[in-house]
Amino acid sequence: MFTLLDVFKIQEQLYSVTSLPCPHCYTTVTLEITGAQLWLYNNNASIQDVLPDVEIPVRERFMTGICGDCWNKLFNPDEEEV
């Protein structure tokens, strides 16, 4: 499950969509998607099908809102447990 916010038409068959805000730093990501991608989203397709060419950290933004920097701070595997 993922969320596209602030969907608006830019031009014929091109839409702007925004991610959830990061719950830690409150930033968002805005992408342009096609009408076909929006149709897939509205028909419950997986994020991999809707945004196949988008990098995994950016897709994560649309699923959880968590940005890459905050994700690393929260779940950094390189940090030793205290």
Q: What averages of pLDDT result for each successive group of 10 residues across the chain (82 residues)?
A: 91 95 94 96 95 93 91 76 50
3-state secondary structure of 52: coil
- Enter the tokens of residue 42: 């509205």
Given this model, what pLDDT does residue 54 score? 95
3-state secondary structure of 56: helix
Rounded to two decimals, the pTM is: 0.81
Given this model, what pLDDT does residue 51 score? 96
CA distance 49 to 41: 9
